[in-house]
Amino acid sequence: MKIELSERFRSFKPFLFEELYRKERAERARGKDIISLAVGDPDIPTAPEIVACAVNEVRKGANHRYPNTKGNENLRTEISAWHKRRHGLNFHHNDEVSILIGSKEGIAHLPFVVLNEGDYCLIPDPTYPTYRTGVVLSGGRIHDVPLEEKNGFLPDLGKIPQKIVDRTKLFFLNYPNNPTGAGATLEYYRDLVKWARKNNVIIAQDAAYCEIYFDKPAPSILEVPGARDVAVEFYSSSKTYCMAGWRIGWVVGNSRLVCALNQLKENIDSGPFNAIQNAVALALKHHERLVPPIREKFKARAEKFCKGLTEAGWKFTKPGGSCFIWAKPPVKRSSIDAVYFMLEKASVLTAPGSGFGKYGEGYVRFSLTEPDKKLDETLRRLKSLDWGN
Ligand SMILES: Cc1ncc(COP(=O)(O)O)c(C=O)c1O
């Protein structure tokens, strides 16, 4: 029998960086000392007290039973308390907070509870690719919204064609932004919420990098009065506490959306291991002590890397947060040519901007999630790289 996969599934292309990783493996096989700054996977270990808490929780028999899909009360209560301290916002832990198996999981599932066949979802370009996943699988349509450097990598709402807006139900955004490192101000969010309310568009703001800010604390869109009528926000423990492998995220905001997403998930998964949820609850409780050293580390890396890149002739806007530098090489090259050139001539692997969307063409993304020594060595290699003309 010939196995026929679904049309929707077939519309997914193989992972974009696969060919790049194949080249990287080939270079390594030739004995090259490759430094990979292609993915954003923090090198900093999870704090020992979080690990110790998890070990203790694993031993408890009660945690060996099924968890509750929306997350255990201990974690949801700590999340509510944290948002109160951090943003001055009250979220009821029962219907305005739901735990996710990493924020990526909730991001991929949200379109299923919002979109009907043919409804539009606005997605930034360049983008974190998972925003597209749920839209494609639920039969929605995608309209790409450019993030241009001249606009601070923020969507120009006035430029989105009204005939698309009229058919749009959902808009994914992400600040501090991957891949550009840009931030959004509360003023921008105010305009966005006003626009969303006027046009009946649901906003899904992805705050995965909200604690990796370099200047002022990144605001929550939900701080805007009335935002809760139209918006949810996704959070992640992956970068905030360097817990990417533990897989915990959460969604807060509009209760109808939070509860609908939870109801869908009740039919798909049974939530993350309670032992891990309790470890994240501890992380949130001690957030103000645990997070500043992580933030400072990424800030110091960003400052040093920006200085080095400037000396190596690269052009970029300094990031306001995240663990990425989004930059153009000293000589005009397509993203993919620049990435292959650096891999072959300097044994440095980076992510091609064009892989994040057409407006990423010409850029390269450096991820600062490798130890300082490797970042220093990267800069040394880039400074001695001759790009020709
Ligand atoms: C913008 C953005 N959102 C969400 C995620 C997913 O994070 P999580 O580990 O919580 O699934 C990532 C991961 O790299 C990301 O870059």
363 and 328 Cβ atoms separated by less than 8 Å:
yes
What is the whole-number distance in angstroms between the Cα of residue 211 and the centre of ligand 1?
13
Beta strands in the chain (DSSP E): 35-36, 97-100, 120-125, 141-146, 168-174, 202-206, 231-236, 249-253, 315-316, 324-328, 348-349, 351-352, 364-367
Percent over 70 (pLDDT), the chain = 99
Closest Cα to atom 16 of ligand 1? 178
CATH of domain 48-288: 3.40.640.10
What is the whole-number distance in angstroms between the Cα of residue 385 and the centre of ligand 1?
32
Measured CA to CA, the distance from residue 321 to residue 344 in angstroms comes to 30
What is the whole-number distance in angstroms between the Cα of residue 236 and the centre of ligand 1?
7
pLDDT per residue as tens digits for the range 102-112: 999 999 999 99
What is the whole-number distance in angstroms between the Cα of residue 185 and the centre of ligand 1?
21
Is the pLDDT confidence value at 15 over 70? no
303 and 323 Cβ atoms separated by less than 8 Å:
no
DSSP class of 373: H
Task: Kindly report, as residue ranges, where domains of CATH 3.90.1150.10 are found in the chain.
Answer: 7-45+289-383
pLDDT per residue as tens digits for the range 112-162: 999 999 999 999 999 999 999 999 999 999 999 999 999 999 999 999 999
What is the whole-number distance in angstroms between the Cα of residue 103 and the centre of ligand 1?
6
What is the average per-residue pLDDT within 347-376?
97
> Residue 383 is inside which H or E element, if any?
helix 372-383
Least confident of 68-72, 251-255, 317-321: 68-72
Helical ranges in 119-224 per DSSP H: 130-137, 162-165, 186-199
CATH architecture of 7-45+289-383: Alpha-Beta Complex (3.90)
pTM of the model: 0.96
Residue whose CB lies within 8 A of the most ligand 1 atoms, among 133, 178, 356, for a mutation test: 178
pLDDT per residue as tens digits for the range 35-66: 999 999 999 999 999 999 999 999 999 999 99
Q: How confident is the model at residue 388 (pLDDT cuts 50, 70, 90)?
A: confident
Task: Kindly report, as residue ranges, where domains of CATH 3.40.640.10 are found in the chain.
Answer: 48-288
Residue whose CB lies within 8 A of the most ligand 1 atoms, among 238, 280, 367, for a mutation test: 238
Closest Cα to atom 6 of ligand 1? 104
Please give all residues whose beta carbon lies within 6 A of any atom in ligand 1, as ranges: 40, 102-104, 128, 174, 178, 206, 208, 236, 238, 244, 249
